[in-house]
Amino acid sequence: MKKVIVSTLLALAALFLLPSCNKDVIRFFDLEIALDESDFADGVPSPDSYTVTFTNTNTGEVTEFETQTKSVSVDQLLEGVYDVVATARYSLYNYLGTAKAVVISSSDALTSLKIKASKSSSLVFKEVFYSCSRTPSNAMYLKDNFFEVYNNGSEAVYVDGLCIATTSNYSSSSINFADENGYMVDTEGNATYMKADDYVVLNGIIWQIPGDGKTYLLNPGESFVIASYATDHTAEDKNPNSIDLSSAEFETVCDNYITNGQVDNPDSDNMILLNPAQATITKQYMPSVLNAGFILFAPSAPVENATLVANYASGKVSGTYTPVLRSDVLDGINWVKNSTALGWLPEDIDAGKTFVSGTYVNESIVRVKEGSSEAGDPVYKDTNNSANDFEVSTKPEIRRDTKKASWAK
């Protein structure tokens, strides 16, 4: 089945109505693209179907195809430059194939797409409120963002030691963490012999959940909330247009923040601030309201002991960054300014992107529900593609349709 966004069709119709003096030729191409599963490890099953999207990098318009075979037939695709993404989910696995900036100018412009399979994490970002809000007087209110993490699986999971952080901008041409041999370099410009493709690089503050390894058990169907400031933001002295986050299980508070005026909520456990690559401490943690590559990860080694690396663009060493193994990443989200903005994360962490209508608009991104478990808990879509997995809510809400963590006060 082929689904094409309506606005695309209207745009094409408008092109055909241009006066005959316009000599530009509008060209369309039929494509046959093989979905190559040859890299699957032994025992990895093939999915029943794939969703394949073509995103025009100039207009942001999306053309989508569903295929139940190992190839996708594309009829009459408008000439242009496209990001192509194939996704599927089956059993415990996510499937992903990507091709960026493909120039569609002939029928053989793209004939094959390599598919990779990876096990799905049971822990996912369920809702993220990053855009912040405005007060009744239309002033910007910057303190009410939150991140909700949900157990989307069938087994209980300890979340002690999990971390959240923002990555460097992997879509920027000025960013490069590999030398000519594919290794990251340290802050002196020396090869670390750590393969750059095995890591994602963080550009600042990292927050870690405390605990001794058996403190915070998250059962299936439960979620927990990390608030930048765990308070009732709707209070008269704050912002009646905002949200009550006073019941958040965690908040991103440290001693320096308290010294600078942030009130510590005794009912919300404080996250641990890890700052190996950036010494700047501000009054409150506030992720970008415009663009970010945001990840949830379970470090396989202490983050504070990581070998710090540098940007190596054009052979010049600059900046100080923290590397994290991509295999440690449980979930990631590209949130961007609009449909034509590039995502920050590497494609194998998030092949898509999501966005709200603007900044300080009191809108959140919410993971799409795709079914229910045998126990009646929501099961949320997780294809490692934010364009498919999230939708926009005009009313941010914590624990929407889910249960509060069993340890919560």
Summarize pLDDT for 136-164 with one digit per residue, the tens.
999 999 889 999 999 999 889 999 999 99
Based on the fold, state whether residues 198 and 127 are members of the same structural domain.
yes
CB contact at 8 A, 288 and 166? yes
Number of domains composing the chain: 2
Is the predicted pLDDT of residue 258 greater than 90, yes or no?
Answer: no
- Predicted pLDDT at 280: 62
Confirm whether 409 is domain-assigned.
Answer: no
- Predicted pLDDT at 346: 93
Confirm whether 20 is domain-assigned.
Answer: yes
Based on the fold, state whether residues 329 and 341 are members of the same structural domain.
yes
Average of per-residue pLDDT across 93-112: 92
Which residue in this structure is represented by tokens 């058990």? 217
Which H or E run contains 211? none
- Predicted pLDDT at 118: 80
Residue 115 structure tokens: 């598919």
Which residue in this structure is represented by tokens 């594919």? 182
- Predicted pLDDT at 341: 93
Based on the fold, state whether residues 133 and 65 are members of the same structural domain.
no
Is the predicted pLDDT of residue 23 greater than 60, yes or no?
Answer: no
Burial of residue 197, with CB atoms counted within 10 A of its CB: 0-12 exposed, 13-18 middle, 19 or more buried: middle
Which H or E run contains 12? helix 6-16
Based on the fold, state whether residues 82 and 221 are members of the same structural domain.
no
Based on the fold, state whether residues 64 and 81 are members of the same structural domain.
yes
| Nearest of 173, 222, 146 to residue 342 by alpha carbon | 173
Domain encompassing residue 113: 2-119
Based on the fold, state whether residues 75 and 21 are members of the same structural domain.
yes
Based on the fold, state whether residues 257 and 134 are members of the same structural domain.
yes
Average pLDDT value for the chain: 89
**Residue bearing the bigger pLDDT, 291 or 3:** 291
The whole-angstrom separation of Cα 143 and Cα 148 is 16
Beta pairing class for 123-129 and 140-141: unpaired
The whole-angstrom separation of Cα 285 and Cα 229 is 8
Confirm whether 338 is domain-assigned.
Answer: yes
Based on the fold, state whether residues 80 and 143 are members of the same structural domain.
no
Based on the fold, state whether residues 400 and 375 are members of the same structural domain.
yes
Average of per-residue pLDDT across 280-297: 85
At which of 119, 136, 155 does a domain end?
Answer: 119
The CATH code of the domain that includes 10 is 2.60.40.1120
Looking at the DSSP bridge assignments, the partners of residue 54 are 63, 84
The whole-angstrom separation of Cα 225 and Cα 405 is 9
Q: pLDDT of 347-363, one tens digit each?
A: 889 999 999 999 999 99
Is the predicted pLDDT of residue 223 greater than 90, yes or no?
Answer: yes
Question: Is residue 270 classed as helix, strand or coil in its secondary structure?
Answer: strand
Q: pLDDT of 46-96, one tens digit each?
A: 998 999 999 999 998 999 999 988 999 999 999 999 999 999 887 667 889
Based on the fold, state whether residues 221 and 343 are members of the same structural domain.
yes
Is the predicted pLDDT of residue 5 greater than 80, yes or no?
Answer: no
At which of 75, 92, 119 does a domain end?
Answer: 119
Average of per-residue pLDDT across 112-124: 88
Confirm whether 374 is domain-assigned.
Answer: yes
- Predicted pLDDT at 154: 87
Q: pLDDT of 203-218, one tens digit each?
A: 888 999 999 988 999 9
- Predicted pLDDT at 16: 43
At which of 76, 96, 119 does a domain end?
Answer: 119
Based on the fold, state whether residues 399 and 352 are members of the same structural domain.
yes
% of the chain exceeding 90 in pLDDT? 70
Confirm whether 108 is domain-assigned.
Answer: yes
Confirm whether 98 is domain-assigned.
Answer: yes
Is the predicted pLDDT of residue 13 greater than 70, yes or no?
Answer: no
Q: Give the model's confidence band at 219: pLDDT under 50 very low, under 70 low, under 90 confident, else very high.
A: very high
Confirm whether 293 is domain-assigned.
Answer: yes
Based on the fold, state whether residues 195 and 333 are members of the same structural domain.
yes
Q: Which residues of 202-219 are buried (b: 16+ CB within 10 A; e: fewer)?
A: bbbbbbbbebeeeebbbe
| Longest CA span, the chain | 73
Is the predicted pLDDT of residue 379 greater than 80, yes or no?
Answer: yes
Confirm whether 73 is domain-assigned.
Answer: yes
